[in-house]
Amino acid sequence: MSSEHYTPAVNPLPPVVVALVLFIMGIEMAFTFGERGLIGGPEAIGWRTQARDSYSFFVSQFDWMLQTGQWRAEYLMRLITYPFVSVNFTQSVFVCVFVLAMGKMVAEVFGSVAMLLIFVLSGVGAAVVYALILAPGAFLVGGFPPVYGLIGAFTWLLWRKLSLVGENQAKAFQLIAVLMGIQFLFRLIFGGAPDWIADLGGFATGFGLSFFLAPGGWARIKGRIRRE
């Protein structure tokens, strides 16, 4: 059979998805190897803690900016950096698995740039929602909020597809309902911070951005405005 007719069994991952996963895992491997004394010397044991202090998103800092009107770059930067500092190796692995799965589907339909925008901006939206609801002592770290943004974009795709075939669009939200249910169950059993607020904020941001970033999305919105 000639190579011209060869079709791979699995579609290759979009480069932006691979790059994002390598970036997240690269940071995590540096922390993990440092904690085990394999690189960086004795001071490397504290790399993860130092990164959390320097790059996590703190509600108190956001509240201070709102109250004073002073928007410091070092605080605003944390809206983007916190997803890349994982709590532990396990968290980073789960984040990467979701990025590979959801990022691939979103990038193939929306395009690489739009997929990356959804990931980054969903992290920002999640942090803002979290800060507006939680007390000043709360903080965010880890990549699940922007991952939920990708889930929001994937849900939009299902929602749109169901509307085109005339089926119940509520079915598109089954995945997020299951994930939120699992989160509530784990919180009841093990306790912990209410990070589900940020995850839900990320989901809503990703879903909302899809109206604009999906192919032809902005044109459809302008068309509706003109008709009204």
- pLDDT number for residue 91: 95
What CA–CA distances, in Å, run from 79 to 5, 83, 85, 105?
46, 8, 12, 25
The confidence band for 121, taking pLDDT boundaries of 50, 70 and 90, is very high
CA–CA separation, 39 and 66 (whole Å): 40
Mean pLDDT of 139-168: 94
Q: Are 78 and 58 contacting, i.e. CB atoms less than 8 angstroms apart?
A: yes
159 domain-assigned: yes
DSSP state letters, 34-53: HHTTSSS-GGGGGHHHHHHH
For residue 215, the surrounding DSSP H or E stretch is none
3 domain-assigned: no
Mean pLDDT of 178-207: 89
- pLDDT number for residue 72: 96
6 domain-assigned: no
pLDDT tens, 130-151?
999 998 889 999 999 999 999 9
Which one-letter DSSP state was computed for residue 191?
-
67 domain-assigned: yes
- pLDDT number for residue 1: 43
pLDDT tens, 10-38?
578 999 999 999 999 999 999 999 999 99
168 domain-assigned: yes
23 domain-assigned: yes
* 96 or 188, greater pLDDT: 96
CA–CA separation, 68 and 49 (whole Å): 28
Torsion on CA atoms 199, 157, 10, 22, rounded to nearest 10: -30
Nearest to 58 by CA among 133, 126, 120, 136: 136
- Is pLDDT above 60 for 221? no
Which CATH number fits the domain that encloses residue 184? 1.20.1540.10
